[in-house]
Amino acid sequence: MVTCMRWIRLSLCFGLVVTCLGQSEKNVVWTFETKGKIFSHPVVEKGYLLFGSDDGNVYCLDTKSGKKRWSYETRGAIRSEPVVVKDKVFVKSGNDVFALKVSNGELAWRAFDGSEMVKKPIDPWDYHSGSAGVWNNTVIFGFENGTVQGFDGGSGQVTFQFQAEKSAPVKSGLLVKGNRLYFGDWNGIVYGYDLAKKKLVWSQATYEEKPYGTFGSIVGGFATHGENLYMGLRNPEMPVLNRETGAFTWRFKEKGGGWISGDPLVYEGILYVGGSDNHDMSAFDPVTGEREWAFRFLNNCFSKPLVVGDNLIFTTGDAYNVYGSHVGYGYLYAINRHTGKLVNFEYFGGNTYTSPVQSSGLIFLGNEDGRMLAIDLERFLNSAANLKEKGYNSVQLKAVEPKPFVDEVTFSYSVAHPSKLNMVITDLSDETVATLVSGSVETGDHSVKWDGQNSSGEVVADGYYFIKMTSGISVFKQLVQKKANQESK
């Protein structure tokens, strides 16, 4: 069932959250519904679309019609990107590795590393399990117990095994260049491993101090250009390493903070990489590290961009919907890859953390709402962006004081042009708690107070809430905390 209008939300960690109302899904050619969230990056192979779901199934769809050709049920959620080698597709589910026949989904072999089945993510932002590496006829996977194992593609026999330092989980993508394997671990260490000699060549820590618990993990994929190695990670500082020695070549630090968490792409001499709370898709000179442009998007990027002609296409999702029960809100973006100027953006459902792929004039993306969608590429690229109609950045929340608050909090905001404004307090599942403003507001700076009461005049419980400001089709949100007065206890 296709919905006509939806809500879109942009989240910053304990900071600004922007929400916009989406337009109808006029560019959707077909949808396929699973019974779980989709974090597995899809792949296209000979007219098949292959991906995994949190419902435990590997799916194979016809790319043109979206009809299911086959599915295979595993023991747990599948968040790894399928890898196709010859006539088999390889996926990981927990600590199981499955080799399935691409043509009909029959099991060729299954390997289990002997450790306890992984049933839950490491933390709420543990979205993906990186793609496997392929070397000759060996398929290589990383595991949460810190092992990296190579499996014979024909038999499933383990051909080699390596253990990360302190048995840190290996959730990054695995990149093979020649005989060298590159990957990273949950503690922020990058490894260069010689597959032919079966020995570690180098390892490099990407940070010195860990300011908070979710910091530093290598969670994205890798890319190379010349002697340089690029990666996506939970760090506002992106290190670039010499892939032969592991030495630092250059670093880029996002001044405003925010993980540079997207999978990097090098195309025609330009490095493209997206981030989380920095909300930027950036283009760099891959040799010097000079940033050529940055495009500010809504939400957070945990995917790899796709080049189509002069366009750079990528997805985003609301990383902070983990506070509530909602599946979140995601976008598909197209920008000019030479200038960083917006071409179009649309909303298609829940959080979209999968990397977009294309085939036969269609773009495919998986959503946290459990749907795999096929988007008409030409219609999407040629549709007007209509920024004013969509309300992009029309209302700005300037300040929330104090943070946290005990009895009363003041919200300061600005309006770019006369607008009808609806300002409400919501809980973490986006349910309205209290209405603060409803009506026309003139251009300029404004402020409004909330006394910590709901619409019935009852004082709400201590905890986290959102201030949500809706003007036309634009909504701006920020997380606020109500806290007990410690002095009164």
pLDDT exceeds 50 at position 49:
yes
Q: Is residue 15 one of the residues assigned to a domain? A: no
Last residue of a domain, one of 337, 372, 390: 390
Return the amino acid letter for 428. L
Question: Do 207 and 131 reside in the same domain of the chain?
Answer: yes
Question: Do 246 and 381 reside in the same domain of the chain?
Answer: yes
Question: Do 310 and 408 reside in the same domain of the chain?
Answer: no
Q: Is residue 147 one of the residues assigned to a domain? A: yes
Region 315-319 average pLDDT: 86
Pick the more confident residue, 486 or 397: 397
Range of the domain at 421: 395-488
Question: Do 363 and 477 reside in the same domain of the chain?
Answer: no
Residues in the chain: 489
State residue 10's pLDDT score: 32
Question: Do 380 and 409 reside in the same domain of the chain?
Answer: no
Question: Do 346 and 426 reside in the same domain of the chain?
Answer: no
Residue 238's DSSP bridge partners are 252
Last residue of a domain, one of 335, 363, 390: 390
Pick the more confident residue, 138 or 389: 138
Q: At 378, which helix (H) or strand (E)?
A: helix 377-382
CB 378 within 8 A of CB 31: no
- Of 93-102, 171-180, 327-336, 373-382, minimum mean pLDDT range: 327-336
- Report which of 242, 247, 364 is spatially closest to residue 315, judged by C-alpha positions: 364
Question: Do 131 and 216 reside in the same domain of the chain?
Answer: yes
Task: State how far the Cα of 304 lies from the Cα of 315, in Å rounded to an integer.
Answer: 8
Q: Is residue 472 one of the residues assigned to a domain? A: yes
State residue 32's pLDDT score: 98
Region 103-117 average pLDDT: 83
Q: What is the mean pLDDT of the chain?
A: 89
Question: Do 157 and 76 reside in the same domain of the chain?
Answer: yes
Query: Tens of pLDDT along 239-294?
Result: 999 999 999 999 999 988 899 999 999 999 999 999 988 889 999 999 999 999 99
Residues 6+ apart with CB under 8 A from 366: 38, 39, 40, 41, 42, 51, 53, 352, 354, 372, 373
State residue 28's pLDDT score: 95
Question: Do 304 and 423 reside in the same domain of the chain?
Answer: no
Q: Is residue 376 one of the residues assigned to a domain? A: yes
Last residue of a domain, one of 390, 406, 430: 390
- Going by pLDDT thresholds of 50, 70 and 90, the confidence category of residue 7 is very low
CA distances from 242 to 119, 192, 251 (A): 36, 10, 12
- Report which of 168, 137, 167 is spatially closest to residue 150, judged by C-alpha positions: 137
- Which CATH number is 90's domain given? 2.130.10.10
pTM of the complete model: 0.86
Q: Is residue 252 one of the residues assigned to a domain? A: yes
- Report which of 324, 323, 322 is spatially closest to residue 302, judged by C-alpha positions: 322
Q: Is residue 6 one of the residues assigned to a domain? A: no
* Count of domains for the chain: 2
State residue 385's pLDDT score: 74
- Report which of 158, 205, 201 is spatially closest to residue 185, judged by C-alpha positions: 205
Question: Do 296 and 417 reside in the same domain of the chain?
Answer: no
Task: State how far the Cα of 72 lies from the Cα of 117, in Å rounded to an integer.
Answer: 18
Q: Is residue 62 one of the residues assigned to a domain? A: yes
Question: Do 147 and 103 reside in the same domain of the chain?
Answer: yes
State residue 156's pLDDT score: 96
Task: State how far the Cα of 152 lies from the Cα of 144, in Å rounded to an integer.
Answer: 20
Q: Is residue 16 one of the residues assigned to a domain? A: no
Question: Do 230 and 339 reside in the same domain of the chain?
Answer: yes
- Report which of 461, 393, 459, 468 is spatially closest to residue 430, judged by C-alpha positions: 468
CB atoms within 10 A of CB 265: 21
